[in-house]
Amino acid sequence: MSIKKVSKESVTPGKAPDGIWSGSNLAEVFSASGDTNMSCGVHELFASVIVVEEAPVDDVLYILEGEMEIEADGVVEKYQAGDFAYLRAGARQTFTVRDRVKHIYVTYPCNWSNG
């Protein structure tokens, strides 16, 4: 496969699976169980503080709506709609959402479900 299209009508958010992201909404576009080397989707988080002790994958985020603060290995940055974030695998990450944030994520390699 050299090209793959997913129409916006087929991207429907639902409750994230139990675990660290439970309580958020997730719409996987290209999933870790699919036939791509990357994973991509839309993630909506609500007021919370989430700690990832050791990120299993590299992540790129594009903030669609709202804002959040991300701390990675002691460096803190605030992100709002229109901002991009790069988060490297292996880092300790803390996500602080005061109200709500919606972002697109792209991960590589798509083995985050193994982390």
Domain residue ranges in the chain: 16-114
Q: State the pLDDT at residue 115.
A: 45
Residue 114 has pLDDT above 60, yes or no: no
User: Which superfamily is assigned to 16-114 in CATH?
Assistant: Jelly Rolls (2.60.120.10)
Q: pTM here?
A: 0.87
**Beta-carbon neighbour count of residue 79 at 10 Å?**
19
What is the per-residue pLDDT across 18-50, written as a single tens digit (0 to 9) for each? 889 999 999 988 876 667 788 899 999 999 999
What is the per-residue pLDDT across 54-104, written as a single tens digit (0 to 9) for each? 999 999 999 999 999 999 999 999 999 999 999 999 999 999 999 999 999
Residue 53: pLDDT band with limits 50, 70, 90: very high
3-state SS track over the chain: CCCCCCCHHHCCCEECCCCCCCCCEEEEEECCCCCCCCEEEEEEEEEEEEEECCCCCEEEEEEEEEEEEEEECCEEEEEECCCEEEECCCCCEEEEEEEEEEEEEEEECCCHHHC
